[in-house]
Amino acid sequence: MRARAACGRDREASHIMIVQLNRFVFATLGALAGLAVKDAIDWTSQIGFPETLVIILFVILGCAIGFIFGGILGRELTRAYAYVEEYIIRASAADLVLAVGGLLLGLVVALIISTPIRGLQPDWIAVAGTVTMFVVFAYYGVRLAMIKRRDFARVFPRLAESRHDDHAPSAKLLDTSVVIDGRFAELAKAGFMEGEVRVPGFVLAELQTLSDSADDTKRARGRRGLDLLTTLRSGPHPVEMFEADYPEIQGVDAKLVRLARDTGADLITIDHNLSQVARVQGVTVLNINELAAALRPAHLPGEQLRVFVVREGKEADQGVAYLEDGTMVVVQNGRDHIGGDIDTVVTSVLQTSAGRMVFARPKEA
């Protein structure tokens, strides 16, 4: 766990360094561009300011523009770097060899085809055309190599043995609701959750927001989720925290679905609506509520149940009881038995998206 934490700190430091380096480079270029713009026009005669003041204004303006643009580009490069790093971690050695081979082949083809382009005039057309050719052929070289990796595996079976098993368990992404619920921890201990269990940074941020809420209920739920994750990090079934974000996407649920699609991970939740949206977009979803409903014992009409009626129902003379697994039992003519045990006979069972409901009537003497 300490090694993972140190690795996370190193990643964060490298991301910050990339952003700051980009800001420095573009601020410097902006200052030089400001000097160039100052020399292009006689601003002193145009606006009446002293030359020294004009130089200072253009340098400051160029630095500010470069600093802002460098920060934006740095964050985009950081996101791209994180994606590439994640892909390299998940990719096998054979895939990396194929990708490098495809990249080199694409660059060689681009070098040959771009030879006549480099002689075009003006020079900027030659440079732009050459760069475009290299980028396009490098990309398609890698894509072609990855598409043909199965054929490569048949030709070089020994090298292909180092590839990851296609049937290896996928990583599991936890959403905020399932972290607060906590039942996933028991599933992991029982061995029903294979693969890495991971929590992205924006889910942690939402838990922290809930734990700082002024509402007592939300604050308690947020703190429960954070306490559970803290306990699991040091347990036999650790949960991995990692940084991932999509600033252009609003909402934690939409970010989770996008992250699951990008990484090929499974999504674990208890949110019915999130489950439906994710499945429509092709994401594998494990809904713990659906699992619990599937594992509840089936109750058939005519079966006898002894229940404790806890409150009245919506309709006249109805009473409501609950089984040990949480299944609601609606007892017809059970209002007079509130607060006591009663023998009932099941009349029908209704399966809903929220769970199973059992309808029963008091057993006749």
Distance CA 320, CA 328 (A): 7
* Residue 2 confidence (pLDDT): 41
Nearest CA-CA partner of 231 in 270, 302, 182: 182
177 and 144 housed in the same domain:
no
Write out the two tokens for 181: 């619920």
Write out the two tokens for 86: 């994640």
Angle (nearest 5°) at CA 138 between 133 and 142: 150
Do 237 and 3 touch, CB atoms closer than 8 A? no
Instruction: Tell me the pairing of strands 319-322 and 304-312.
Output: antiparallel
154 and 18 housed in the same domain:
yes
Is 136 domain-assigned?
yes
Is 254 domain-assigned?
yes
Mean pLDDT in each 10-residue stretch from start to end of the chain (365 residues)?
46 70 81 72 63 76 82 78 69 73 85 80 79 84 72 54 53 86 81 81 87 86 85 75 81 88 85 88 86 76 88 86 84 86 88 76 76
**Domain closes at, from 127, 160, 193:** 160
Q: DSSP characters for 89-139?
A: HHS-HHHHHHHHHHHHHHHHHHHHHTTTGGG-SSHHHHHHHHHHHHHHHHH
Is 3 domain-assigned?
no
Please give the C-alpha separations between residue 62 and each of 47, 53, 232, 234, in angstroms, as whole numbers.
Answer: 18, 14, 50, 50
Is 165 domain-assigned?
no
CATH number at residue 358: 2.40.50.140
323 and 289 housed in the same domain:
no
Looking at the 3D structure of the chain, how many domains does it have?
3
* Residue 93 confidence (pLDDT): 67
Q: Write the Ramachandran bin of 190: left for phi over 0, alpha for psi from -120 to 50, otherwise beta.
A: alpha
Is 139 domain-assigned?
yes
CATH number at residue 246: 3.40.50.1010
317 and 230 housed in the same domain:
no
Is 6 domain-assigned?
no
100 and 42 housed in the same domain:
yes
Structural domain for 305, as ranges: 297-362
129 and 262 housed in the same domain:
no
125 and 63 housed in the same domain:
yes
Is 167 domain-assigned?
no
Is 271 domain-assigned?
yes
260 and 303 housed in the same domain:
no
**Domain closes at, from 260, 294, 328:** 294
Number of other residues whose CB lies within 10 A of the CB of residue 365? 4
Number of other residues whose CB lies within 10 A of the CB of residue 33? 18
118 and 51 housed in the same domain:
yes
**Domain closes at, from 104, 128, 160:** 160
Do 205 and 229 touch, CB atoms closer than 8 A? no
319 and 200 housed in the same domain:
no
Distance CA 34, CA 41 (A): 12
268 and 319 housed in the same domain:
no
151 and 192 housed in the same domain:
no
Angle (nearest 5°) at CA 354 between 350 and 357: 30
* Residue 202 confidence (pLDDT): 86
